[in-house]
């Protein structure tokens, strides 16, 4: 496992998915105040006790599909948790058995964890582009990852440069990083 990966188990014995239990096995290897806040607000617990919007959006449907076919499922999740836009690739491995699987292992690789920008409103695609730029990805790599054309990415980057009054791509990335440095943590739920 890499530093950007985490491993968890969801016990799926109960008929009601909200009674399934989430348990963290291994956290991400990198440190982040956003991840620390998410970990505190997303403890080992029954799904009904966790952020309902996130559970409905990112957990239940995907796990139900994996349980139904009794085969591994891979997906790219883009959602919001505790006011933070997150994206990750996920592999769901249901228990191999004759009846209904009693658990699923989830291996996720984090792609982005972006708190809302103070200076400008951005959509999820812009947030993805921002995170991937900060990670050093090229326009072509970003386009491939987001399943968009390189020209679309270039247009969005140009709009971001205008919005942040950046002279070039390096200046844009520096300004984007600067908007996150030294910002007070806001509690949201």
Domains and CATH numbers, the chain: 5-114 (3.30.450.20), 124-180 (1.10.10.10)
Confidence of residue 28 (pLDDT cuts 50, 70, 90): confident
Phi and psi at 180, nearest 5°, equal -95, -20
**Per-residue pLDDT at 186:** 39
Q: Is the pTM above the cut of 0.95? A: no
pLDDT band at 182 (very low <50, low <70, confident <90, very high): very low
Helices (H), the chain: 33-41, 52-54, 60-69, 124-134, 139-146, 150-163, 169-180
Token match 């959602």: residue? 79
The fraction of the chain above a pLDDT of 70, given in percent, is 87
Q: What is the pLDDT of residue 176?
A: 77
- Contact indicator for 54, 79 with CB cutoff of 8 Å: yes
pLDDT tens digits along 97-142 = 988 899 999 999 987 766 554 445 678 888 889 888 888 899 999 9
Q: What is the mean pLDDT of residues 166-176?
A: 86
Question: What value does the mean pLDDT of the chain take?
Answer: 85
- Core vs surface per residue 93-111: b (16+ CB within 10 A) or e: bbbeeeeebebbebbbbbb
């Amino acid at each position: 496992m890499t530093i950007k990966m985490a491993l968890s188990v969801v016990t799926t014995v109960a008929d009601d998915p909200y009674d399934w239990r989430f348990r963290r096995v291994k956290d991400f290897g990198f440190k982040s105040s956003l991840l620390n806040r998410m970990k505190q607000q997303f403890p080992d617990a029954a799904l009904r006790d966790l952020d309902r919007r996130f559970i409905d959006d990112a957990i239940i449907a995907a796990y139900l599909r994996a349980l139904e076919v009794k085969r591994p499922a891979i997906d790219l999740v883009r959602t919001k948790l505790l006011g933070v836009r997150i994206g990750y690739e996920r592999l769901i491995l249901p228990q191999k058995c004759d009846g209904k699987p009693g658990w699923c292992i989830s291996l996720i690789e984090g792609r982005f964890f972006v708190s809302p920008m103070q200076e400008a409103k951005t959509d999820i695609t812009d947030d993805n582009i921002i995170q991937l730029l900060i990670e050093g990805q090229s326009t072509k790599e970003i386009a491939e990852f987001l399943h968009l054309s390189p020209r679309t990415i270039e247009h969005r980057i140009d709009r971001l440069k205008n919005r942040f009054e950046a002279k070039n791509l390096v200046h844009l990335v520096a300004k984007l990083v600067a908007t996150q440095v030294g910002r007070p943590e806001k509690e949201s739920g």
